[in-house]
Amino acid sequence: MATTELGAALRHWRDQVSPEAAGLRAGGRRRAAGLRREELSQLAGISVDYLTRLEQGRATKPSAQVVEALARALRLGSDSRAHLFQLAGLAVPGAKIVPAYIPPSVHRMLDRLTGTPVAVFDAAWTQLLANPLYTALMGDWRGDDLNAVWRNFAGAGTRVRHTPESLGALRAAQVADLRRTAARYPDDRRLHQLIARLRDNSPEFEALWESGAVGRHESARKTIDHPQVGAITLDCDVLVVAGEDLRIMVYTAEPGSEDAERLALLAVIGTQDLTAQRP
């Protein structure tokens, strides 16, 4: 049965990925070198119970989103990813769906840039992956706020300091970018649901969408108001992964500056809340 083959393949790939390769700390004694179920479920954003049922062949018909998340967490190459979709009885996502696949080379790049805040977004500006320093700098986004467009129009906002002019330019660029993405991926239901919800929840988004506003994300200097280390001014560059339609956002500080010192301090304290009272 396909489900049995799927379970065997998941167990095999899980055994082949070390915690270090997946960006986790190994810690403690381990009976096997690969990932524990709890670790893979955490990385993929699914429950341990559901992963167990998938591996044991008791769960059927996982969604394309679950299979994509598992492929990403297991750092599968393109051929193995396609095989995983086939084992799940699903068509491999084509060019008309926003790709969420992160190639191993991008994973390796994030592994090496531990002292630099880096995050990976898909073509709809939904965050797929972020290294710990990016999370410490910008916050640990969840749910709808993983999408940068939603965050800026209808969500929690960000720690980036804006003038009315800079925020207006950013929003116009985001709407224009999302419009181009929608034209490239006309069959992506989740993308069109996102756009519909933004139009319903944000009059400004609706006005920009109807106006046909144009613009592009460009490199810029940004000041981030961090709750623990204070204001940090960094250069923000957006890189595009050729062939994958991914955006990599990278923040860097001028060497020897106070901002570089604050970023180094943030790398030490991570996501600790220094305002919390000790017992």
* In the chain, ranges of CATH 1.10.260.40 domains: 2-87
Helix axes 64-73, 78-87, angle to 10 degrees: 140
Q: Which pLDDT tens digit goes with each residue over 236-265?
A: 999 998 778 999 999 999 999 999 999 999
What is the model's pLDDT at position 93? 72
Confidence tier at 158 by pLDDT (50, 70, 90): very high
| CATH code matching the domain that covers 2-87, chosen among 1.10.3720.10, 2.40.10.120, 1.10.260.40, 3.30.70.980 | 1.10.260.40
Cβ-Cβ contacts under 8 Å for 190 (sequence gap 6 or more): 98
What is the model's pLDDT at position 212? 78
Burial letters for 167-201: b for 16+ Cβ neighbours within 10 Å, e otherwise? eeebbbbbbbbbeebbeebeebeebeebbebbbee
Give 32's DSSP letter.
S
Q: Which pLDDT tens digit goes with each residue over 196-250?
A: 999 999 999 999 998 877 667 777 899 999 999 999 999 999 999 877 899 999 9
Give 189's DSSP letter.
H
**Amino acid making up residue 209:** W
Answer whether residue 117 shows pLDDT above 80: yes
Answer whether residue 274 shows pLDDT above 60: no
Strands (E), 87-140: 118-121, 127-130
Just give the CATH number of 104-269. Answer: 3.30.450.180
Model pTM score: 0.71
Question: Could you please report the per-residue DSSP string of 222-238?
Answer: EEEEETTTEEEEEEEEE
